[in-house]
Amino acid sequence: MKGVLLIIAFFIYGSGFSQKVFVVNYASQADVKVFIVNYESQADLKVYKVKYQSEAGNNNGKWFFVNYASEADKKIYFVNYETQADLKIYFVKYEAQAGWRNKNKAYLMY
């Protein structure tokens, strides 16, 4: 669990994402339960963290993590196991790499 929290903290404070997202503390508070996969080919959505809120996307994999739940388009919770997840994501290095691999799951982020 500590490892997951470190990963979350790194991505929240490390750079930026599109679509305004807030990470909640409990699964019951979340709109979407998310699992971070190790390989791009395993992901439903490739996510790029944008630096500025104005860069937040329209369900295109560009996420911006906000500080308050009231500012978020979606509240997410990072689960420990793939089987617990509604959505599997992979963090990409470049903005152009962001996007859906499994468009059947796109409704989760609307």
Consecutive sets of 10 residues in the chain, 110 residues long: mean pLDDT of each?
49 51 98 98 97 88 96 96 98 96 94
pLDDT confidence of residue 58: 87
Q: How far apart are CA 20 and CA 90, in angstroms?
A: 17
Nearest to 89 by CA among 41, 56, 53: 41
pLDDT confidence of residue 4: 53
* HSE (side-chain half, CA atoms, 13 Å) at 45: 28
Q: What single-letter DSSP state applies at residue 13? A: H
pLDDT confidence of residue 1: 54
